[in-house]
Amino acid sequence: MIRPRGLIFGDTIGIIAPAGPSTGEKVEASHRELAAMGFKVKIGSSCYRKYGYLAGEDSLRADDINSMFEDGDVDGIICLRGGYGTLRILDLLDYDLIAINPKVFIGYSDITALHIALNLKAGLVTFHGPMAAPDIAAGLDRFSMESLYNSILGERAGIGKLENPGDEKVEIINEGIAEGTIIGGNLSLIVSTLGTPYEVDLRGKLLFIEEIGERPYRIDRMLNHLRLAGKLKDAEGIILGDFRACDPMDGKEEHSLSLRQVIGDIIESIGKPCIANVRAGHCKPMITIPLGAKARLDGYSGELEVLERPIMD
């Protein structure tokens, strides 16, 4: 895997909107907050565009990504927000260009498709972490900021345990030890890559999954899709992150399995080492996870440890 250079304060971070649109106010707030954190900022054209539910036409959003990687003045890239749209541009990216210009790349949710594609096609380590508009513009809490810095700053990033904030306990689903590079993100996007040239490869990997706003039967369907495609069998271990608002619909509880029952039926039954309630995903505070970095999942202690520096000096 190609590791990007770690950032230092004073570096330039490019903001791009590869999925859904935001507002000018949030773009400017993101700019102010990143500057207050000690970075220079370059804003991509997509951040000010709107094309229905997309931040501009596909060609524009793809060009923003390619241009930010090619731009020698840009040291790292953060996505403005998720929403929907990254699947539409996977075949418009220049992965050879990206591979010879590796940079810190940060985002989550719909950005999962880009994480998987950049990992697969460019061999790049990327970062599942806070985005500009929903997180940084509002002011990052200290835990989320420290976790981000511990992943992307050259003087801070290293190996070590990824720990939950406060009293949040990691749940052990299946005991056992597993090692591999971490890949994954949002469950809906992971499943959407199946059958495409960007299909997630889980051989020798630790699969990380998070989700938001999906009822248990939909989680059931997507996990079974992964199971029937042989992906859960391929994975060395499974890390379950935040599943926000994934409970049965109000008033429908007696007609639904719980999320925990779905996990038991599908994940627990395959016997792979698995931990849950890792606070990464659509949650605050959030852990930044280096995707493509080797890690060790301990299903006895509930610990997740990064075994190699995700960045280079």
Has 115 been annotated as catalytic? no
Q: Label residue 290 left, alpha or beta by phi (over 0 means left) and psi (-120 to 50 means alpha).
A: beta
The active-site residue out of 22, 30, 46, 109 is: 109
The active-site residue out of 31, 115, 128, 282 is: 282
The active-site residue out of 33, 210, 214, 236 is: 210
Has 282 been annotated as catalytic? yes
Nearest to 278 by CA among 270, 291, 287, 290: 287
Has 70 been annotated as catalytic? no
Just list the catalytic residues.
109, 210, 282
